[in-house]
């Protein structure tokens, strides 16, 4: 079955999260996704709170910028979430926005090398292994988690460029694609991910999660266009969807047909009714998705 989720935008203050997370849980939303955008809200702290306030909704962090985090800390926090809330936490890691990484003095000369080393060490630690590695960026000396997850969780990687997409296929369990990814971009990403999987001899499942800019209501088209233009893109139909549940469901299906496993509806930053958006996704769009 196609997965469907919604984003809690960090442009909302953290104190709004409790009500929206509980609404998502009650409305039957499958996945609520959070962002660790600089310099708004912490991904792990927000995810832990959302999971504690709810009973069934899965909570994703898409994504944690690896230049900001020692891999041992990422592993400890990820393992803690999975032990406290089994099967409900989803963690993705990625390069982060390079300008932001530069602002905090964490910009890596080779982001792809850093991400590869981080993924390899993180997944090994979450498998309960004792890890010693002396990489360019990741250095561990006999590190093992005292409280690894009781079952090995998936680790997703955010990716856009060809090298990172191939790396995600090699070293991650799934890939997160941005809301700028049109259906043809999903097909291209799947091909590159599969190239990476083949080179690594991987035959396990690899989930593709795609964000989809979504606006509904009387001013939906104008809000969507403004958001796309503010992101420096041409407001072409493939870069988002505005309309009722039927129109949104068709856009979701186009991404699924192109190879997406989960589509996460991303409201505009100025969405006037975030709670209503969650209800819309869970109660109006979900019934139209096979």
pLDDT of residue 286: 98
Burial 201-227 (b: 16+ CB within 10 A, else e): ebeeebbbbbbbbbbbbeebeebbbbb
pLDDT of residue 115: 98
> What gap in Å lies between CA 36 and CA 159, rounded to an integer?
15
Give the CATH number of the domain where residue 12 resides. Answer: 3.20.20.30
pTM: 0.97
* Residue ranges in the chain modelled with pLDDT below 70: none
What's the sign of the alpha-carbon dihedral 65, 66, 70, 74? Answer: positive
pLDDT of residue 29: 98
pLDDT of residue 283: 98
- State how many domains the chain has: 1
Domain span at 41: 3-288
């Amino acid at each position: 079955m196609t997965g469907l989720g919604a984003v809690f935008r960090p442009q909302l203050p953290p104190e709004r999260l409790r009500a929206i997370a509980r609404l998502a849980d009650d409305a039957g939303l499958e996945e609520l996704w959070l962002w660790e955008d600089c310099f708004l809200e912490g991904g792990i702290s927000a995810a832990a709170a959302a999971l504690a306030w709810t009973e069934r909704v899965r909570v994703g962090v898409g994504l944690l910028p690896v230049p900001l985090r020692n891999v041992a800390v990422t592993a400890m926090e990820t393992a803690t979430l999975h032990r406290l809330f089994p099967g409900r936490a989803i963690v993705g890691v990625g390069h982060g926005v390079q300008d932001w990484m530069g602002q905090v003095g964490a910009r890596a000369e080779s982001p792809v090398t850093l991400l590869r080393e981080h993924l390899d060490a993180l997944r090994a630690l979450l498998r309960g292994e004792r890890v010693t590695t002396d990489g360019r960026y990741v250095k561990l000396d006999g590190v093992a988690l005292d409280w690894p997850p009781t079952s090995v969780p998936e680790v997703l990687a955010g990716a856009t460029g060809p090298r990172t997409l191939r790396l995600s296929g090699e070293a991650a369990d799934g890939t997160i694609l941005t809301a700028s990814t049109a259906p043809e971009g999903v097909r291209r990403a799947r091909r590159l991910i599969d190239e990476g999987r083949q080179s690594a001899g991987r035959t396990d499942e690899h989930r593709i999660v795609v964000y989809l800019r979504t606006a509904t209501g009387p001013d939906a088209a104008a809000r969507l266009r403004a958001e796309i233009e503010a992101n420096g893109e041409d407001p072409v139909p493939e870069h988002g969807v505005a309309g009722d549940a039927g129109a949104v469901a068709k856009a979701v299906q186009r991404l699924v047909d192109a190879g997406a496993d989960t589509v996460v509806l991303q409201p505009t930053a100025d969405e006037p009714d975030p709670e209503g958006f969650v209800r819309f996704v869970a109660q109006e769009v979900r019934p139209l998705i096979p």
